[in-house]
Structure 1
């Protein structure tokens, strides 16, 4: 199921995308927000499957899709240097103050504040970065369903509720200057998300997915998720070893080679650019750049 959060006539609701229509869950006996819906688990999913036939449907063109989880309840957990080619690209860029080696021995974990989340179509405001070094990072994001601590790799995918797309927008100079990446990664609106949250049953093998990023129609990133250094089960096992994961937690799994700092000179984002990230079956996350 392709779950969505949307607005229609000024009203916020959740539903499911079915072709060019949105099934509206408002009249069904389920939570009205995505975090509550996720926490309700299989019972909520079964309720909407049973009630979908009688639920209102709206033409996709009549609604505005927003981030599936507009305001995460905790920081987004992120993984740096997690595609083989990008790890080398970043290490050679001169912006990596985190470690000396190209390929990390253990997952590099950082976070983005909940206030970074923005919607499909929302502008990325590069004027918030005084250094003029805003970069894009297309990423597959994992949303936790059943929480827990001490989750093993063997059991990890059973704790995944679904998948969405995020753009881990980054100020490279602030990332380098402050070493710990929170400031460079957490400027307001620097995490566009969406357009859908695809439930895990629709993605039986996430390693088969392909991550594609285009800037102004130019292909910049094109990599299989199978190129992850640390796969999704390893990330969940690592994070949950001493941190209790909760329903609705978001894990951004890392970006592929082809980010702006990988070019000579770097291709930073500027006003007038458009960034589009595609991972099927999740869809296409597109955002304009303004200053």
Structure 2
């Protein structure tokens, strides 16, 4: 008798769908696996449950790259002494995929301005106060060029006209400069120096010099010499009326000579006698009478 095959129960597709969509527990998920590819890429496969309770397969590929950096020796030693603890105790150095998660880098951008939605909404009183302050500030705005009620930078005449205040100051300066430096004589129409004005006949020949103090000239000074150094050098010989050190316009260094004026000729003679040939700052000084002080 021929064998009779047992009837195969038909497959219910609805039950298959229910099995695929069945919820899983976290303990039923497979353990994560990691393998190394030939190109050095590390492939990690793990399973998780999504928000709907369904099993999701996650494949993460990591490319390892060695970056050598020079750090302080003490910092490297202190880092090597760190040991992992807890569930990762005894594992190798570096992050572990089971306990460490990587996230995207977040860059913080600081701004000095505050957005409107972050600021509290002003009340009606604040709005009215701001409008009053703006109106008061606008009324006080005055252009320096045309005296209009706008900023000087917005003036339409800023490229063609000078400020009115500067023009008035310039005119007063020119008039005062003319009075000080001299001008034409109102009576004769000739130019008269300021020093000879309001003088009688014959007084110009008897005019004495304003600064006729005995003056000496000190040469062979170093570049670092200042007025205070020269005053300290000649101060022990008597009172001085003026100390002038010649300086270079670009470097402001001493040119190597200076002029010293004394109130008394005896003090100047004593300074000339003592300082001529005197060693000062690794140099030998030379002192002589200035041209205006020679007898």
TM-score, with normalisation over the residues of structure 2? 0.19
Where is the strand percentage greater, Structure 1 or Structure 2?
A: 1
Query: What TM-score, normalized to structure 1?
Result: 0.19
Structure exhibiting the larger radius of gyration computed from Cα positions:
2
Bigger relative contact order, structure 1 or 2 (CA pairs below 8 A, ≥6 apart): 1
